[in-house]
């Protein structure tokens, strides 16, 4: 959804925090979300959000939400009320009687209401209410509020100018090689952690479409010791004369786990898992970039993990015939 058409309008990135609860206002916990919204027309938008529902008894759930929005601008476009719906792809860590935990994967409908008010100098505040209703898991509600940044052409949204076209048209990412270091966190009830490292080669294949080849080592957080190769396709967008970029990626992660749990009498340390990722980059110079990437490994044996990496990359121009 990130910049797939040159006619796409304004872009907004927000970070919000709040609470998770159920309809009876029991089992309160924290909640937070990162949200990227792309205005398609003045009254219609699409978004991608990473939502964490906190820790309610027996459940540690988070996931990715893909949504569409109907928007009602008011007060000369300085305040917008929105209603959204979409698909919530979630991961729920649940306690087992054996003392271990299960990573329950699923999809659910998500319904949203949000209110956005714009300050000067690109900043805005946002309040969001989410309702998730899985078929085979607990329903959840989150209420969050926070701040965001508006990536339009002008210093702030003004009447008739909210949603100007992006600054860049037809940008294709150059060759990029990046070294990463960071942390892996296994999604169990104890959230075991370890140092993680990766190398990545990135190249743009079309406007707003990148491909990457990555080597990932998740470290040794005691219950897994995973490393492997990832191939991903990315939707990307750039801002401020290509100095900043944002992307969402998905693809297969082919790995070996030296601590893979036994299945019957056999042990299979190699497997393939989906890898869903969010990345931000900023140019330091014409050739050097810094990049922050957040990977989610969706395993099939209750060993999901988050891999958060910060890297330094080198770019060089594509060769054209």
Model confidence pLDDT, tens digit, residues 29-75: 999 999 999 888 889 999 999 999 998 888 899 999 999 999 999 98
pLDDT classification of 4: cutoffs 50, 70, 90: very low
Higher pLDDT, residue 275 or 173:
275
Confidence of residue 192 (pLDDT cuts 50, 70, 90): very high
User: What pTM value is reported for the model?
Assistant: 0.87
pLDDT averaged over every residue in the chain: 87
pLDDT at 126 over 60: yes
What is the tens place of the pLDDT at every residue in 266-309? 566 788 999 999 999 999 999 999 999 999 999 988 899 999 99
Q: Is the dihedral of CA 122, 41, 250, 100 positive or negative?
A: positive
Which whole number is the average pLDDT over 128-137?
91
Whole-number pLDDT of residue 70 = 97
| 223-255 pLDDT tens trace | 999 999 999 999 998 888 888 999 999 999 999
- The C-alpha atoms of residue 11 and residue 260 are separated, in whole angstroms, by 42
| Res 166 pLDDT > 70 | no
- The secondary structure of 58-103 as a DSSP string is TEEEEEEEEEEEEEEEETTTTEEEEEEEEEEEEEEEEE-TTS-EEE
Strand 140-150 to 288-297 pairing: unpaired
Residue 208 phi/psi, 5-degree rounding, is 70, 15
The two three-digit tokens of residue 133, written as one number: 């209703």
Q: What secondary structure, in 3-state letters, does 178-209 show?
A: EEEEEEEEECCCCCCEEEEEEEEEEEEEECCE
- Give the mean model confidence (pLDDT) for residues 142-162: 72
Q: Single out the residue of 64, 62, 59 nearest to residue 93, CA to CA.
A: 59
H helix and E strand count, the chain: 0, 16
- How many C-beta atoms lie closer than 10 Å to residue 227's C-beta? 16
Whether 180 has a pLDDT exceeding 90, the answer reads: yes
Domains of the chain (ranges, CATH numbers): 11-150 (2.40.160.20), 175-316 (2.40.160.20)
Question: Is residue 25 over pLDDT 70?
Answer: no
- The residue among 125, 117, 121, 39 whose CA lies nearest residue 84 is 39
Say yes or no to pLDDT of 159 above 80: no
Answer whether residue 163 shows pLDDT above 60. Answer: no
pLDDT digits (tens, 9 = 90+) for 89-117: 999 998 887 777 888 999 999 999 999 99
Percent of the chain with pLDDT over 70: 85
Q: What is the pLDDT of residue 185?
A: 96
Confidence band of 318 (pLDDT split at 50, 70, 90): low
Position 263 scores a pLDDT of: 57
């Amino acid at each position: 959804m990130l910049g797939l058409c040159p006619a796409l309008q304004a872009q907004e990135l927000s970070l919000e925090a709040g609470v998770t609860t159920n309809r009876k206002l029991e089992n309160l916990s924290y909640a937070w979300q990162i949200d990227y919204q792309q205005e398609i027309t003045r009254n219609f938008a699409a978004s991608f959000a990473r939502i964490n529902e906190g820790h309610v008894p027996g459940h540690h759930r988070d996931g990715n939400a893909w949504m569409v929005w109907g928007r009602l601008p008011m007060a000369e476009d300085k305040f917008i009320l929105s209603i959204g719906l979409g698909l919530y792809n979630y991961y729920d860590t649940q306690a087992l009687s054996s003392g271990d935990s299960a990573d329950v994967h699923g999809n659910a409908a998500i319904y949203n209401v949000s209110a956005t008010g714009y300050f000067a100098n690109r900043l805005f505040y946002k309040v969001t209410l989410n309702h998730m209703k899985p078929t085979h898991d607990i329903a959840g509600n989150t209420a969050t509020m926070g701040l965001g940044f508006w990536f339009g052409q002008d210093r702030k949204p003004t009447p008739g100018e909210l949603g100007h076209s992006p600054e860049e048209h037809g940008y294709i990412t150059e060759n990029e090689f990046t070294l990463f270091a960071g942390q892996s966190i296994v999604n169990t009830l104890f959230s075991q952690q370890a140092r993680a490292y990766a190398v990545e080669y990135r190249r743009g294949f079309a406007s707003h479409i990148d491909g990457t080849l990555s080597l990932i080592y998740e470290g040794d957080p005691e219950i897994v010791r995973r490393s492997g190769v990832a191939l991903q396709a990315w939707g990307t967008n750039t801002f401020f004369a290509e100095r900043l970029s944002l992307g969402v990626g998905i693809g297969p992660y082919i790995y070996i786990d030296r601590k893979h749990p036994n299945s019957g009498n056999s042990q299979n340390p190699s497997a393939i898992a989906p890898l869903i990722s969010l990345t931000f980059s900023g140019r330091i110079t014409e050739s050097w970039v810094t990049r922050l990437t957040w990977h989610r490994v969706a395993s099939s044996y209750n060993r999901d993990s988050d891999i958060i990496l910060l890297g330094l990359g080198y770019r060089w121009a594509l060769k054209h015939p």
